[in-house]
């Protein structure tokens, strides 16, 4: 075994043909960061137009294209691929496997993504403009009334669905088959657990999304009427199908984030994760509940009252396992010996802001109150607290946490802390006032608004520019670390870090764990 | 729950220095202290109940966390404990939240059942969403039905910042919905094209308007006043420009208003039988153009979302093809069939206007009788 270690190929072909989980992980991460900046640029256009009442910079039709592409690119281009990249880098190293189970498929599932997003972005240049029906693309606005570019949008969704399904199958196959001897399921790091459950969710719901866009395609081009009442169809059917995908989707985004936080908080508390088993069960419970709560996005469509009650009760139940997770994290910190390096700061930021997002989520679950919240900026504030402060903050924490392991070089700690504080403050200036304007009656997805919303919107825009600019600092810090960061001599990097990946050199060699490691008897978490 | 409301006001006081910056949901009570709708008050109280439960839990969780961040830091020389599970505690924090949820579900359920209680309405109004306006039709008013469109009244000049913005910028319409107070009004809500959503925050009524389906909602307004809201479901380019304005008036005022409405409908019918002067047609046509055409075709007929009308081959070509576009719309585009939305006089007036304004100067005059004979083929 030991004498034919080989490194990567040279030049572009290394990246095009690679089947190495570390290379593919790297490509996913860079690609998702590029999409994060693109989706962020669209957000800046949105906030610039909303800086003051009145139409100043863009036309309403273009504004709708921006909100639509911002949502689609952030969800499908930035957050999801970034966690797949993290999974690629970490899962084999965490379970003591030499690579992913299906390395060629791994290459393919990454390389179909860039063309899909190139196609989606190119719709901006098409006649009639890009999709302008919101990232939830409700029919018939997205079918009968859609611009011609909708067909390209449908194709792009199909491709990235294929990519997600292949990525998930790969993760499931890897976790089930390639754990090192002695690495039982209940010894796996929580990040691996959350991704395993996420992968099952993806395999279950991405085909549903594919079904929804295929029905749209049929309605638009082949004369069917799935979503048109005039032909005997039902526009509400679209929403049921979409949210049957869409609600598990938000857990697909947040569960790996839970996994990351469950790795980082113990490391910097120098204390094992509290309630490992209950974390696993809570994750599974959330995953199960995610399938039976979809219509809480649709309280105002006119469901029968029995349906409303069912979805309200089921949705409220999600607070239980989510609460368990938050309590476990706080108890992990309790009586630890904490230090506050950048990854820990972002994790605590996650914990505080995600909990606030959880509270507003609980408020939104109350159906009669939701009649007032639905489709207002209150909802926008809620889901940015869980998507940005939840998923993006945890992703940022993960990059700072594992970057020294991946590259063997340390980022600039001071700059990292500045990045955290500017992000944290900028984020709250952006999104906290949106609770107020939403409750006061400002609908989402409007390019112009009544005068009483003006002050908070200006505040929100200023915060957004601050938050946006702080991400450039992050980019600089990462590049500077890779190019000229101080070398990390220690394998562990962080003195409280636990897990197999910290037993490898920093940076790890191109191929790792070609011989399975020995798992010690103590729990790996 | 009055107490909770006072507390909420106190909590938000520093931010509420500017009275314009409302930070919380409509309380369901007018500024003078009169209840607007009982359901609105109930929903507000429910909202505040859940809010305060969250605040209390938040103080607990964040308090423990902050104390821990302060006390259990390595720089204070503490040794980390190694405990990592405790069955009793874990069961407790699963069961206790569950019980709290039951406490929330009980009032939520009873309020929801009231929201859904559409029975025993004293009058019904059909609300239809169009891109980008609302149509109101009084279904059981005495005699003939009264129906009209409610368009945004804010000028393009205000929207594009050449005029100062008025107090009710984007929340004003040419013809508001008028309803009587102390009357249970049932709304039947649907849409003509895409999905819209009809919302008036102070009345706590929001329901999606879905093409091909009819949703029900209701309100009983107790206090006279003007209540403003907006479309809340993305419905295309001008989603942000289709406000809802409701005038709640005394029942006697309402009776007068509906009688006047029926009278003007009759007057319109009479007008259709007459020959109107070019000036009358042009004046009426300009009004119709501004409320129905301008959003897409521009203030000077220069086009925008829709084609240009100034110098257009349709507006300057044969009358029948021009009427065809206006009356029947253009299938597969945003151009609607205005034959079903405008009276024959209005179609005649706006056609005359389009054929003579914006430098089109065809000199054609179109009368209501021309529209009638076109429609009859």
Which CATH number characterizes residue B152's domain? 2.60.40.420
Would residue A219 show up in a list of annotated catalytic residues for this protein?
A: no
- What's the helix, strand, coil split of chain A in %, to 5? 70, 0, 25
The two three-digit tokens of residue A91, written as one number: 């899962």
Beta strands in A294-341 (DSSP E): none
Are B279 and B264 within one domain?
no
* C-beta atoms of B81 and A271 within 8 A: yes
Are B263 and B330 within one domain?
no
For A342-398, what is each residue's pLDDT tens digit? 999 999 999 999 999 999 999 999 999 999 999 999 999 999 999 999 999 999 999
Q: Please state the ipTM of this predicted complex.
A: 0.93
Distance CA(A263)–CA(A505), nearest Å, equals 19
- The answer to whether residue A153 sits within a structural domain is yes
| Residue B362 reports pLDDT greater than 90 | no
Distance CA(A493)–CA(A506), nearest Å, equals 8
Task: Respond yes or no on whether the N-terminal peptide bond of residue A140 is cis (omega within 30° of 0).
Answer: yes
The alpha carbon of residue B116 is apart from the nearest alpha carbon of chain A, in Å, by 7
Are B262 and B292 within one domain?
no
- The answer to whether residue B212 sits within a structural domain is yes
Catalytic choice (A47, A179, A247, A419): A247
Contact indicator for A346, B93 with CB cutoff of 8 Å: no
Are B231 and B202 within one domain?
yes
The two three-digit tokens of residue B37, written as one number: 């709708």
Distance CA(B368)–CA(B285), nearest Å, equals 12
- At B142 the pLDDT is 62
The alpha carbon of residue B170 is apart from the nearest alpha carbon of chain A, in Å, by 6
- The answer to whether residue A462 sits within a structural domain is yes
- Domains identified in chain B, total number: 3
**Residue keyed to tokens 């199909």:** A158
DSSP character at residue A134: T
CB burial of B191-226 (b: ≥16 within 10 Å; e: otherwise) equals bbbbbbbbbbbbbbbbbbbbbbbebebbbbbbbbbe
* C-beta atoms of A448 and B105 within 8 A: no
The alpha carbon of residue A31 is apart from the nearest alpha carbon of chain B, in Å, by 30
For A75-119, what is each residue's pLDDT tens digit? 999 999 999 999 999 999 999 999 999 999 999 999 999 999 999
* C-beta atoms of A368 and B240 within 8 A: no
Choose among A229, A309, A362: nearest Cβ to B213.
Answer: A229
Are B201 and B225 within one domain?
yes
* C-beta atoms of A333 and B111 within 8 A: no
- The answer to whether residue A157 sits within a structural domain is yes
- At B18 the pLDDT is 43
Contacts of B32 (CB under 8 A, 6+ apart): B223
End-to-end CA distance of chain B: 64
- Closest to A508 measured CA to CA, from A520, A492, A525: A492
Domain boundaries, position A102: 23-503
Distance CA(A69)–CA(A46), nearest Å, equals 11
Are B209 and B107 within one domain?
no
* C-beta atoms of B46 and A302 within 8 A: no
Are B308 and B354 within one domain?
yes
| Residue B137: strand, helix, or coil | strand
Query: How many Cβ contacts (< 8 angstroms) between chains A and B?
Result: 288
Contact indicator for B62, A284 with CB cutoff of 8 Å: no
- The answer to whether residue A272 sits within a structural domain is yes
A207 Ramachandran zone, left/alpha/beta (phi>0; psi -120 to 50) = alpha
Choose among A272, A278, A371: nearest Cβ to B204.
Answer: A371
| Residue B31: strand, helix, or coil | coil
Are B42 and B153 within one domain?
no
- The answer to whether residue B78 sits within a structural domain is no
- At B332 the pLDDT is 63
What is the rounded average pLDDT of the residues A135-148?
94
The two three-digit tokens of residue B183, written as one number: 């009357």
A375 to chain B: which residues are within 8 Å by CB?
197, 232-233
* C-beta atoms of A133 and B72 within 8 A: no
- Closest to B107 measured CA to CA, from B207, B217, B4: B4
Q: A524: pLDDT confidence band, cut at 50, 70 and 90?
A: very low
Nearest-by-CA chain A residue for B168: A450
- At B307 the pLDDT is 85
- At B146 the pLDDT is 87
Nearest-by-CA chain A residue for B105: A313
What is the rounded average pLDDT of the residues A54-67?
95
- The answer to whether residue A159 sits within a structural domain is yes
- Closest to A89 measured CA to CA, from A499, A393, A518, A521: A499
- At A6 the pLDDT is 65
Choose among B50, B64, B213: nearest Cβ to A334.
Answer: B64
Residue B117: φ, ψ to 5°: -85, 85
For B111-166, what is each residue's pLDDT tens digit? 999 999 999 999 999 999 999 999 999 987 566 678 899 999 998 889 999 989 99
- What global pTM score does this model have? 0.91
Nearest-by-CA chain B residue for A379: B232
| Residue B213 reports pLDDT greater than 80 | yes
Q: B2: pLDDT confidence band, cut at 50, 70 and 90?
A: very low
CA–CA distances in Å: residue B147 to residues A141, B153, B197, B208:
26, 18, 19, 20
Contact indicator for A380, A444 with CB cutoff of 8 Å: yes
**Above pLDDT 70, what percent of chain A?**
98
Domain end position, chosen among B268, B294, B327: B268
Would residue A423 show up in a list of annotated catalytic residues for this protein?
A: no
| Residue A403 reports pLDDT greater than 70 | yes
DSSP character at residue A69: H
Q: What is the CATH number of the domain that holds A178?
A: 1.20.210.10
B91 to chain A: which residues are within 8 Å by CB?
none
CB burial of A290-323 (b: ≥16 within 10 Å; e: otherwise) equals beebbbbbbbbbbbeeeebbbbbbbbbbbbbbbb
B358 Ramachandran zone, left/alpha/beta (phi>0; psi -120 to 50) = left
Distance CA(A31)–CA(A69), nearest Å, equals 16
Distance CA(B105)–CA(B8), nearest Å, equals 22
Residue B65: φ, ψ to 5°: -65, -45
| Residue B20 reports pLDDT greater than 70 | no
**Above pLDDT 90, what percent of chain A?**
94
| Residue A11: strand, helix, or coil | coil
- At A2 the pLDDT is 44
The count of other CB atoms within 10 Å of the CB of residue A409 is 18
Distance CA(A488)–CA(A163), nearest Å, equals 35
| Alpha carbon A322 to chain centroid, angstroms | 17
The alpha carbon of residue A136 is apart from the nearest alpha carbon of chain B, in Å, by 10
DSSP character at residue A371: H
Contact indicator for A354, A332 with CB cutoff of 8 Å: no
- At A521 the pLDDT is 59
- At B11 the pLDDT is 46
- The answer to whether residue B237 sits within a structural domain is yes
Choose among A271, A309, A372: nearest Cβ to B25.
Answer: A372
Domain boundaries, position B93: 2-15+26-72+84-115
Contact indicator for B198, B127 with CB cutoff of 8 Å: yes
Average pLDDT for chain B: 88
Q: What is the CATH number of the domain that holds B362?
A: 1.10.760.10
DSSP character at residue A338: B
The alpha carbon of residue A156 is apart from the nearest alpha carbon of chain B, in Å, by 22
Would residue A300 show up in a list of annotated catalytic residues for this protein?
A: no
For A466-501, what is each residue's pLDDT tens digit? 999 999 999 999 999 999 999 998 888 998 999 999
- The answer to whether residue B20 sits within a structural domain is no
What is the rounded average pLDDT of the residues A409-418?
96
Distance CA(B323)–CA(B339), nearest Å, equals 9
Would residue A251 show up in a list of annotated catalytic residues for this protein?
A: yes
Distance CA(B28)–CA(B202), nearest Å, equals 6
The alpha carbon of residue A106 is apart from the nearest alpha carbon of chain B, in Å, by 36
| Residue A490: strand, helix, or coil | coil
For B297-312, what is each residue's pLDDT tens digit? 888 888 877 888 888 8
Are B132 and B91 within one domain?
no
- At B17 the pLDDT is 40
- The answer to whether residue A15 sits within a structural domain is no
- Closest to A250 measured CA to CA, from A24, A83, A28, A471: A83
Q: A10: pLDDT confidence band, cut at 50, 70 and 90?
A: confident
A347 to chain B: which residues are within 8 Å by CB?
none
Distance CA(B153)–CA(B294), nearest Å, equals 12
Average pLDDT for chain A: 94
* C-beta atoms of A316 and B101 within 8 A: yes
- At B19 the pLDDT is 45
DSSP character at residue A73: I
Would residue A135 show up in a list of annotated catalytic residues for this protein?
A: yes
The two three-digit tokens of residue B234, written as one number: 């993305």
Catalytic choice (A28, A193, A251, A502): A251
Are B157 and B257 within one domain?
yes
CA–CA distances in Å: residue A513 to residues A7, A97, A369, A508:
15, 6, 54, 10
- Domains identified in chain A, total number: 1
Distance CA(A435)–CA(A438), nearest Å, equals 5
Tell me the three-class secondary structure of A136-184, residue by residue: CCCCCCCCCCCCCCHHHHHHHHHHHHHHHHHHHHHHHHHHHHCCCCCCC
Are B301 and B210 within one domain?
no
Distance CA(A24)–CA(A110), nearest Å, equals 7
Q: B264: pLDDT confidence band, cut at 50, 70 and 90?
A: confident
> Partners of B178 in the beta sheet?
B247
Choose among B159, B194, B234: nearest Cβ to A448.
Answer: B159
- The answer to whether residue A14 sits within a structural domain is no
- Closest to B334 measured CA to CA, from A129, A233, A291, A187: A129
- The answer to whether residue B31 sits within a structural domain is yes
Catalytic choice (A23, A49, A249, A308): A249
Q: A142: pLDDT confidence band, cut at 50, 70 and 90?
A: very high
* C-beta atoms of B241 and A60 within 8 A: yes
Distance CA(B54)–CA(A37), nearest Å, equals 34
* Exposed / middle / buried, residue A415 (Cβ in 10 Å: 0-12, 13-18, 19+): middle
- The answer to whether residue A5 sits within a structural domain is no
| Residue A162 reports pLDDT greater than 60 | yes
Are B181 and B256 within one domain?
yes
The two three-digit tokens of residue B23, written as one number: 């930070």
Contact indicator for B323, B372 with CB cutoff of 8 Å: no
């Amino acid at each position: 075994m030991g004498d034919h270690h080989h490194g990567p190929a040279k030049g572009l072909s290394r990246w095009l043909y690679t089947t190495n989980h570390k290379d593919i992980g790297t490509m996913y991460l860079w690609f998702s960061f590029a999409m994060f900046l693109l989706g962020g640029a669209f957000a800046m256009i949105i906030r610039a137009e909303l800086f003051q009442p009145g139409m100043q910079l863009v036309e309403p039709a273009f504004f709708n294209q921006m909100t639509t592409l911002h949502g689609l690119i952030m969800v499908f281009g930035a957050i999801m691929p970034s966690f797949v990249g993290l999974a690629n880098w970490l899962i084999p190293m965490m379970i003591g496997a030499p690579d992913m189970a299906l390395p060629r498929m791994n290459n393919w599932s990454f390389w179909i993504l860039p063309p899909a997003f190139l196609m989606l972005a190119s719709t901006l240049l098409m006649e009639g403009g890009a999709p302008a029906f919101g990232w939830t693309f409700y029919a018939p606005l997205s079918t009968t009334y859609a611009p011609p570019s909708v067909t390209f949008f449908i194709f792009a969704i199909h491709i990235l669905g294929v990519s997600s399904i292949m990525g998930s199958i790969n993760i499931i196959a890897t976790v089930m088959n390639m754990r090192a001897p002695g690495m039982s399921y209940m010894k796996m790091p929580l990040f691996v657990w959350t991704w395993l459950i996420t992968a099952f969710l993806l395999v279950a719901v991405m085909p549903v999304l594919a079904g929804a866009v295929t029905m749209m395609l049929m309605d638009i081009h082949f004369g069917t009427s799935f979503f048109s009442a005039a032909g005997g169809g039902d526009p509400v059917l679209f929403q049921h199908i979409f949210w049957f995908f869409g609600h598990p989707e938000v857990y697909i985004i947040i569960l790996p984030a839970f996994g990351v936080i469950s790795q980082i908080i113990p490391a910097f508390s120098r204390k094992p994760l509290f309630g490992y088993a209950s974390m696993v069960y809570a994750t599974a419970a959330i995953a199960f509940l995610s399938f039976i709560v979809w219509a809480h996005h649709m309280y105002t469509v006119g469901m029968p009252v029995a349906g409303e009650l069912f979805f309200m009760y089921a949705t409220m139940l999600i607070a239980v396992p989510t609460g368990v997770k938050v309590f476990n994290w706080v108890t992990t910190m309790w009586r630890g010996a904490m230090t506050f390096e950048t990854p820990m700061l972002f994790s605590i930021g996650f914990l505080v802001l995600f909990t606030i997002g959880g509270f507003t989520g609980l408020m939104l679950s109350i159906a009669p109150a939701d009649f007032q919240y639905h489709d207002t900026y209150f909802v926008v504030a809620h889901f940015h607290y869980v998507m940005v402060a939840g998923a993006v903050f945890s992703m940022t924490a993960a990059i700072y946490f594992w970057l020294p392991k991946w590259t063997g070089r340390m980022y600039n700690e001071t700059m990292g802390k500045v990045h955290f504080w500017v992000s944290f403050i900028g984020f709250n200036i952006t999104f906290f006032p949106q609770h107020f304007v939403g409750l006061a009656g400002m609908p989402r997805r409007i390019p112009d608004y009544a005068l009483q919303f003006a002050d908070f919107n200006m505040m929100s825009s200023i915060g957004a520019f601050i938050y946006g600019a702080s991400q450039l600092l992050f980019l600089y810090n990462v590049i500077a670390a890779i190019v000229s960061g101080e070398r990390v001599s220690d394998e562990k990097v962080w003195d409280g870090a636990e897990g197999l990946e910290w037993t490898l050199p920093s940076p790890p060699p191109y191929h790792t764990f070609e011989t399975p490691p020995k798992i010690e008897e103590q729990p790996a978490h | 729950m009055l107490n909770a409301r006072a507390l909420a006001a106190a909590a938000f006081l520093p931010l509420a220095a500017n009275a314009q910056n409302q930070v919380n949901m409509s309380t369901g009570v007018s500024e003078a202290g009169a209840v607007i709708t009982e359901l609105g008050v109930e929903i507000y109280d429910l909202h505040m109940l859940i809010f305060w439960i969250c605040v209390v839990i938040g103080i607990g969780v964040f308090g423990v966390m902050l104390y821990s961040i302060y006390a259990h830091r390595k720089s204070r020389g503490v040794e980390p404990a190694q405990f990592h599970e405790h069955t009793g505690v874990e069961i407790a924090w699963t069961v206790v939240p569950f019980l709290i949820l039951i406490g929330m579900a009980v009032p939520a359920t009873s309020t929801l059942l009231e929201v859904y209680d559409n029975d025993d309405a004293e009058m019904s109004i059909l609300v239809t969403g169009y891109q980008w306006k609302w149509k109101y039709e009084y279904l059981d008013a005495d005699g003939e039905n009264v129906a009209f469109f409610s368009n945004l009244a804010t000028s393009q000049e205000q929207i594009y910042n050449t005029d100062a913005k008025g107090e009710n910028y984007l929340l004003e319409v040419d013809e508001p919905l008028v309803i009587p107070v102390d009357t249970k009004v049932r709304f039947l809500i649907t849409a003509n094209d895409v999905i819209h959503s009809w919302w008036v925050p102070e009345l706590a009524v929001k329901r999606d308007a879905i093409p091909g389906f009819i949703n029900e909602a209701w309100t009983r307004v107790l206090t006279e006043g003007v209540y403003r809201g907006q479309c809340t479901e993305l419905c295309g380019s001008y989603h942000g420009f289709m406000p809802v304005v409701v005038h709640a008036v005394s029942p006697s005022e309402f009776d007068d208003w509906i009688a006047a409405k029926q009278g003007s409908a009759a007057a319109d019918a009479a007008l259709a039988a007459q020959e109107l002067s070019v000036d009358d047609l042009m004046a009426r046509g300009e009004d119709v153009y501004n409320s129905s055409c301008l959003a897409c075709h521009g203030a000077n007929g220069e086009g925008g979302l829709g084609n240009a009308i100034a110098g257009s081959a349709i507006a300057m070509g044969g009358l029948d093809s021009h009427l065809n576009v206006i009356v029947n719309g253009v299938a597969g585009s945003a151009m609607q069939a205005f034959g079903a939305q405008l009276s024959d006089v209005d179609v005649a007036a706006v056609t005359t206007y389009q054929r003579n304004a914006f430098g089109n100067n065809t000199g054609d005059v179109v009368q209501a009788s021309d529209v009638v004979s076109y429609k009859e083929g």
